[in-house]
Chain A
Amino acid sequence: GAVVSQHPSRVICKSGTSVKIECRSLDFQATTMFWYRQFPKQSLMLMATSNEGSKATYEQGVEKDKFLINHASLTLSTLTVTSAHPEDSSFYICSAPNPSGGNEQFFGPGTRLTVL
């Protein structure tokens, strides 16, 4: 199947700093990507839909100025957590739809963010 990578896999930062997480589709193009957040022992919550060439669509309750999304190319979407605080510590996972069609999504391995 298609491969989605994320970088970094883990990041620890100080409170108040900004952190950028990259999501790449390695062998296919993705005009749409999705960003999820997962708290410990909880489900994945969709944060936003990243759209190449246009603004991201955010889910209700997600601050767009806090979580900046840029779909820079057909293979790269970035999520920047601005002015990070300890409550932003979480596991962030991106996904991209199957380029062959259907409703399947391919998930990245996730990024563990810890804000001190």
Chain B
Amino acid sequence: GEDVEQSLFLSVREGDSSVINCTYTDSSSTYLYWYKQEPGAGLQLLTYIFSNMDMKQDQRLTVLLNKKDKHLSLRIADTQTGDSAIYFCAETLFNDYKLSFGAGTTVTVRA
């Protein structure tokens, strides 16, 4: 959707960190998600953050949320070739299962 925006492409060298950015417009967003989609496959939930949090870390993944600027980022440390995929950010509103997705960022990891 048009309410969630992402940059479309990111190229990163193996071993470096990747940072994928996302902006959203609905200030009522409650949960913000990062999904990973490999070619020809469905979506895999990587992580999510509740809107009253600033940061969440899960192994190589770090999510930062700037609620004032409505900006969400996903940092992948020590990026590997298996991290090549499309990454979608998404939001839901309180008590609503409907997900609004960004267009997805294609991450390419080069050796």
The chain A residues found within 8 Å of chain B, CB to CB, are: 1, 6, 32, 34, 41-46, 49, 93, 95, 97, 103-110, 112
Contacts and interface: CB of A to CB of B under 8 A. Distances in A.
Contacts, number: 55
Contacts of A41: 104, 106
Among A43, A97, A105, which residue has the most Cβ atoms of chain B within 10 A? A43
Given A44-B43, A107-B44, A108-B42, A97 B97 contact: yes
B45 A104 contact: yes
The interface residues of chain A, by DSSP majority, are classed as strand
A32 B101 contact: no
Contacts of B53: none
Contacts of B80: none
Contact of B97 (A34, A42, A109): A34
B30 A103 contact: yes
Contacts of B35: 107
B55 interface: no
Given A103-B30, A104-B48, A110-B42, A46 B98 contact: yes
B10 interface: no
B88 interface: yes
A1 B42 CA distance: 15
Among A41, A45, A105, which residue has the most Cβ atoms of chain B within 10 A? A105
Contacts of A6: 42
A83 to B, nearest CB: 26
Given A43-B1, A44-B88, A45-B1, A105 B99 contact: yes
A93 B97 contact: no
Interface in B29-71: 30-31, 35, 40-45, 48
Contact of A109 (B1, B41, B104, B106): B41
